Copies of this chain bind each other. A is one copy, B any other.
Amino acid sequence: MTAPYELIYYTGVPGRGEHVRLLLEEAGAAYKDTQFLSFDEARESVTHWLGAGGHGNPRYFAPPLFKHGDLVISQTPNILLYLGSKLGLAGAQADDVYRVNALALTALDGVSNEVHDSHHPIAVMLPYEEQKEESRRRSQYWIQNRLPSHLEYWQKVLESDKDSPGPWLLGGTFTYADLVLFQCLDGTFYAFPKAMEQARESGKYDRVFQLWEDVKARPNIAAYLASDRRQKYQDWGIYRHYPDNDIVSE
């Protein structure tokens, strides 16, 4: 298919669409991106394509959306799965696509959705200010219990690739799961800088923080991060920095 790749998402923060951009940027693929529209135009595009249907596509619930010719799909991990295979970022062995998808889903659950829910534990439609106490309580448990649990898990994945040594989650083979984990760590660092710095300085998760640096240094990713296509985190996205929530343990 020679149709263009089109990312349809809100504009103004990296958000969940950022994972899609990182795959396309790493592969050097051309793509259209509604981030270059005005805020209202991007929102209208999202609303239109959520409900467009036709060509066998169902209606979708939420962006990001991805359009490739007549195909329209939703759900971040699903878009990554589609693109991962097309862009050669879904592994080298038979069935690696299912290993990479498992790792990507685990990063998105644990180091993206859980972090988002830390500032909105009661309801997504309520402003943060109306769930501030619950948010602080949740963040404290998250930083003390879940953050170490996730970092320890990723460290073990990186340490246990004896069959195929290398800096990546599948050993020597760079895949889109590495890009997803990079973005999740990067966003979590924005949300909880003190807690993440303390984790880095502990020395217990060196392989994880090294992966973050290694992805950042890949030529296409470095160029992208330095460009104006990389939007800044802001406190209405997935990752928000509320100093009250950035709790460092003793």
Contact = CB atoms under 8 A, between A and B. Distances in A.
Interface string A151-191: 00100110011011000011000000000000000000000
Contacts of A163: 54, 56
A73 to B, nearest CB: 5
A155 to B, nearest CB: 10
A99 B73 contact: yes
Contacts of A113: 113
B121 A98 contact: no
A98 B122 contact: no
Counting contact residues on chain A (CB < 8 A from B), the size range is 35 or more
B123 A145 contact: yes
A193 interface: no
Nearest to A101: B78
A103 B62 CA distance: 11
A102 interface: yes
Contact of A160 (B53, B73, B124): B53
A206 interface: no
Interface stretch (A40-48, A136-144, A208-216): A136-144
A75 interface: yes
Most buried by B among A78, A105, A126: A78
Contacts of A74: 102, 106
A160 B103 CA distance: 34
A143 B178 CA distance: 37
A134 interface: yes
Contacts of A36: none
A102 B54 CA distance: 16
Nearest to A92: B56
A30 interface: no
A125 B106 contact: no
Given A60-B106, A123-B146, 4 more contacts: A59-B153, A75-B101, A75-B106, A134-B137
Interface of A: 51, 53-54, 56-62, 71, 73-75, 77-78, 81-82, 93, 95-96, 98-99, 101-103, 105-106, 110, 113, 117, 121-126, 134, 137-138, 141-142, 145-146, 150, 153, 156-157, 160-161, 163-164, 169-170
